[in-house]
Amino acid sequence: MGLVRHVVCAMSGGVDSSVAALLLKRRGYSVTGVFMKNWDSLDESGVCSAEKDCEDAYRVCQSLDIPFHQVSYVKEYWHEVFSNLLKEYEKGRTPNPDILCNKHIKFNHFQKYAINTLGADAMATGHYARTSQEDEEVFQQPHSAPPPTLFRDRFEIRNPVRLYKGADLLKDQTFFLSQISQDALRQTMFPLAGLTKEFVKKIAAEAGFDHVLKKKESMGICFIGERNFENFILEYLEPKPGNFVCIEDGTVLGTHKGWFTLTLGQRARIGGQKKAMFVVDKDVVTGDVFVAPTTNHPSLFRDTVRTDRFHWLTVDPPPELVRTQMMECHFHFIHQMPLIPCTVTLNMDGTVWISLSQPVRALTPGQVIVSVHSRVMEHSEYSVVVSPGA
């Protein structure tokens, strides 16, 4: 008999990771399911949803006759994701916790647990994404230490693994994977790469995974659930009241409990104000939140942005950008947002200017921008991620 590869599959208790584990077993791998707990408070109805999700994941592993483990990263999540999230909100920015969780927890701590503690040859997740390597190539990838310098040596990785969209373009989750490391990408399998969500549900039904099929799809920020965002964030940050100010004439229209409860582009709830007003800017010094009377007000649009340092998924930085200091890409900053052509200009400190082919609405400081370098066929290579500094 040939060597049986050991794959650890991250189990969330949902249909996608359940089917991912099933497919791995069908392919002949030795599979271990692991549930990862990141948040431990009760939801709005007083129920710990993590316990129910863990139970659902355990039942799937039982039916597949594979080992099941659970691991807690509550402390790591608090320090590396949630604390940073609060700091960003206080600065008036809008961070993305799902991207931070993948970067710091699932594709860092959890992956090291899978490879180093459980002795796995690879990790797998239920994300709708794929890479440029075949499954067997994953098992041949050596571990490499992170670069000590600003940029990786461009000759260090001769055949970088690229992140591609999966077959289901509507469910594509590469946006949320855009800040993981090259090393993590090399050691990860995406069993759902070639499947649509509907087909995944069909597989789950045929396998008898009724308990996960009945669950509502998780949407939004996992630890908030159905709760009102303002009420949730005020449990962790002191209220800092300020004024709603009309950007057109400077009129004070009302008050808010803190600029961090609001994000650019959203409708502002202003007591006694019948006309719809939308957030267009925030001043974290004065506490003023500026609003405009239309959802597509000119002050909400911009066509250039300066960013924090890029995170390159493949070669750091791409030879084309080194050669000319400029590169044509496509861009989006919201999951499922249509891609927009842009020009990336590299600065000496690793930051960049991004010039868009058309203005976009509500591009918010702190959000992650994903630039996509188009390749042959219909796939796109997610090559870079940035966080707007302003």
Q: What element of type H or E holds 237? A: none
**∠ CA 66-70-74 to the nearest 5 degrees?**
160
Active-site residue among 9, 61, 101, 329? 101
| Alpha helix ranges (H) inside 43-110 | 49-64, 74-77, 83-90, 97-101
246 is catalytic: no
Q: Please count the CA atoms within 13 angstroms of the CA of 122 that sit on its side-chain side.
A: 25
Active-site residue among 222, 246, 329, 342? 222
54 is catalytic: no
State the DSSP string of 185-201. Answer: HHTEE-TTTT--HHHHH
Tokens of 306: 């300066």
**DSSP SS3 for 28:** coil
| Alpha helix ranges (H) inside 190-292 | 197-206, 210-213, 229-233
Q: Phi-psi region for residue 326, left (φ > 0), alpha (ψ -120 to 50) or beta?
A: beta
Among the listed residues 85, 137, 145, the one whose alpha carbon sits nearest the alpha carbon of residue 112: 145
Q: Helix, strand, coil: what percent of the chain each, to 5?
A: 30, 25, 45
Q: How far apart are CA 312 and CA 181, in angstroms?
A: 8
For the annotated catalytic residues, the residue numbers are 101, 222
